[in-house]
Structure 1
Amino acid sequence: MSESIAWNLLNQLEYILESDPLIDEIGFIHPSQFDVLNEEVGCTPWTAESISQSADNANISGKVLWSRDHKLGISTTALLPLYKAAKHVFMDSLRQYKMHTKVKDECGEGNVPKCPSPSLTILEKEVMKHSKTILLLCCDFGTAWNFRKLLLSEQQEYSMFMEELVLSDLVLSYSPKSERAWSHRRWVIKMIAGKCSNLQEIVDRESEFVKKLAERSKMNYRAWNHRCWLVAYMPVGQRLMLGILEAFLNKDQNGFSGEELDEMWKDELDWDEKLIKLYVGREALWLHRRFLASCWLKHFASSSAYEIDRFIDNELQLFNSCATIIDSHFDDYQAQATYAATYIMWLTKQIQVESLGIEFERKLQVSGLKTLLNNACPQKAFLWDSLLQLCGSE
């Protein structure tokens, strides 16, 4: 692809971005996929031929840019030339901006620079426009992120901060694990915290945004880490459960009542059970259940024998449903059975420690439980006798 076509493509890309500020998703598409997209929506894409009529277009086949319904597709064949062109114009506009601000500083306030240059406002808009383009093509371009931080720090305009969240939305739509994009979002939230009246609304949207990305990519550590960081900006009802429990134990008047905490823990146990059944063989979910069960037994269950009995029934039902290995060809089912078995053994000890095992001894003798334990976790079968001794059986 010639340089002239690359420049034309860059101009067209920036035109699309400016003409549709509601674009919420970007994808890099193989040329063979454009025809399918166009057939589905019945539209004509941006092609190299429609952008430039030079003879160089003979070397380009297929589609280049696709935009419809606030979605933007860029051909993978155009990425490299677009990146080179975008980097060139960004660095050139940044150089002009630095020269202009340097001359302005040397001349001092109230003096007009002797050398001719475009207005600072125009230069700022140019650099912001080109930095956006380069970041959408290469999200690790640190110079572009840093310039945007610099300019926003000077301007301190709320609307510009909101535009940064939209920009990082776009970046994360194609690169959901971009550390620079997540870091930039945290920087924006820090900058507006305490300066805007609707921070809680922004935090709620941010939490929902992270949730959607995490659902699309379960192993996205950066998304989960971002949500953990976000907790500090959430109201008490969304804080980490240990923090809420601590406030309750310290009799914080702004905290939850015992009944509210009881319901919160039950809801979390129900949610954890759904996740255990949905994502088979995930140890972290079983460890979280240990935390929930331990806290509930210690702080909320001691006053109600009925609640304890119902809790035990539910945990044994969960164990029964998870200890059966449906398909031995998949390690996840074996892992699920193992985690279920070790959890029920751990729970037995916890109940005895808390002196809540009135009915647990009988329930452990339910027909088939020993067999399930041995099948689910044969390497720990010897623990069965110890478990019964712990319960007081002969």
Structure 2
Amino acid sequence: MSGTDQFSSSLLHQLESILESDPFIDEVGFVHPSQFAAISDSSMSLEVPLENEGENDASNMAFWSREHKLGISTHVMQPLYIAAKCAFMSSLEQYRTRISLHKMIVTFDSSSLVSIENDVLKHSKALLLLSCDFGTAWNGRKEVVVKKQDVILYLDELKFSSLVLSYSPKSERAWSHRRWVIKMIAGKYTDLHEVLSSESELAKRIAEKSKMNYRAWNHRCWLVSYMSKSQVVDELVKYRDWAGLHVADNSCFHYRTRLMTRTLEDSWHKEDSKATPAHIPEVSQLWKEELTWSEILLKRYIGREALWLYRRFLSLYWIKHFAGHMGETHVDLFVDSELQLFRSCTTIPDNVFEDFQSQAMFAATYMMWLITQMDEPQSVETRDKVGKELEEVLTKVFPEKAFLWDLVRAKSGGLIGV
């Protein structure tokens, strides 16, 4: 073995020793050698000489470990990656060979297989911390874990993928691995309450730190299908204030959309298969509260398109699943409340700001959209009530879009096909 190979192997051994000695490491980062001087503490850090073997200053440090946080020097990433990849590929090949021999009913030492399994997990862990999208390493972990069928190992996989996400929050491989683990756990255990709660919290925390993280929100939406009725309600209520502080985040409201549609699924009223959501008090009350909350946000935060899009979703489903089943009076009451909302949001103060103009435009297009979603008699009646006001708003705020009202008017009158 050359000196370079020995150095690389030494680095890998040290990294794996750190990971093994502290199983509670929850964050990893990559640090430039010059930054080690600011964070170094000889009693809390691990040192490996990089160039001059006799030097032990901060610039020669390879790893830093403290309070369950791990720093890896960018200076050693290449040799460390090469050593980790070689070690992992070798252990994976040995593992697959042993499994093949087992299928051929060839006698072998089971303790030796356990040792090789541990090597696959150990080396893949180091490798994925350096290259989180190395698919073969994730698949190798799956092969070992699924064979053992131990829930503790599945939970360890969730913990490890969280560590990967601490430095690569948009890693599709890491998020996909978490979904695989949850599917495996769900196949063996029916109670996922604690796992799903921690998953939702993790996704929320990562979304806060990593803006526009579609993968985190997509993962959170995926979790909803596994949630119980009580968990769905808890998620809606618990994170309502949080959503109110992130009104520009469309992904946040897409998640609430997924939660709300979950309340309409058959599993919610399986006790009475003939019941509609409107006839289930807890469901209709939940939608009423969400509509009220949505209106408060629309009036509080001026000109936020994400809020108006969410309002469209709530209104459409309210008309489809609730108001119509409750009777014509409820439809009329809902339409009247939406007209009041429209009027309150189209008042533009003398000190004109762009946000108020945007608010008026969104309110106008919302009302035109709502008219097209109603049955023809109700649509025509609403059109007649608000038509003049809509024309005035469009002419004042967005004259080049005024023709849209002509289209809506014709459509609601049955002149244009839906």
Using structure 2 for the length normalisation, give the TM-score. Answer: 0.72
1:27 and 2:29 equivalent? yes
Structure 2 CA distance for partners of 1:206 and 1:280, relative to 1, 3 Å: farther
Two-structure CA RMSD over aligned residues (Å)? 4.3
Partner of 2:264: 245
Partner of 1:379: 400
Q: Which runs of 5+ in 1 are unaligned?
A: none
Which of 305, 317, 322 is matched with 1:300 structurally?
322
Shift of 1:193: 1.3
Shift of 1:130: 0.8
Structure 2 CA distance for partners of 1:5 and 1:246, relative to 1, 3 Å: closer
- AA at the equivalent of 2:209: R
Which of 170, 174, 178 is matched with 1:177 structurally?
170
Partner of 1:51: 48
Paired with 1:142 and 1:219, the residues of 2 have a C-alpha distance of 24
Which of 145, 156, 167 is matched with 2:138 structurally?
145
Q: Which runs of 5+ in 2 are unaligned?
A: 233-257, 414-418
Q: Is the 8 A contact 1:276 1:286 kept in 2?
A: no
1:18 and 2:39 equivalent? no
Q: Deviations over 1:250-284 (max 9, x none)?
A: 9537985443233322343456564997797656x
Q: Deviations over 1:330-357 (max 9, x none)?
A: xxx9877654432232234446846289
| SS of corresponding position for 2:285 | helix
| SS of corresponding position for 1:139 | coil
Partner of 1:136: 129
Partner of 1:159: 152
| SS of corresponding position for 1:252 | coil
Shift of 1:70: 2.1
Using structure 1 for the length normalisation, give the TM-score. Answer: 0.75
- AA at the equivalent of 1:76: T
Higher mean C-alpha displacement, 300-309 vs 372-381? 300-309
1:224 and 2:224 equivalent? no
Q: Deviations over 1:202-236 (max 9, x none)?
A: 12322332233334345333333333332321224
- AA at the equivalent of 1:128: L
1:345 and 2:347 equivalent? no
Paired with 1:376 and 1:267, the residues of 2 have a C-alpha distance of 31
Structure 2 CA distance for partners of 1:44 and 1:101, relative to 1, 3 Å: same
Structure 2 CA distance for partners of 1:173 and 1:391, relative to 1, 3 Å: same
Structure 2 CA distance for partners of 1:286 and 1:2, relative to 1, 3 Å: farther
| SS of corresponding position for 1:245 | coil
Paired with 1:254 and 1:317, the residues of 2 have a C-alpha distance of 36
Shift of 1:153: 1.7
Higher mean C-alpha displacement, 294-303 vs 86-95? 294-303
What are the within-5 Å matches in structure 2 for residues 201-350 of structure 1? 201-236=194-229, 238=232, 240-242=259-261, 244-245=263-264, 247=266, 252=273, 257-269=279-291, 274=297, 282=305, 286-301=308-323, 302-304=328-330, 308-318=335-345, 326=353, 338-350=361-373
Aligned length: 374
Paired with 2:67 and 2:37, the residues of 1 have a C-alpha distance of 17
Structure 2 CA distance for partners of 1:43 and 1:53, relative to 1, 3 Å: closer
Paired with 1:277 and 1:386, the residues of 2 have a C-alpha distance of 31
Shift of 1:177: 2.2
> Whose relative contact order is higher, 1 or 2, with alpha carbons under 8 Å and at least 6 apart?
1
Paired with 1:198 and 1:107, the residues of 2 have a C-alpha distance of 37
Structure 2 CA distance for partners of 1:344 and 1:75, relative to 1, 3 Å: farther
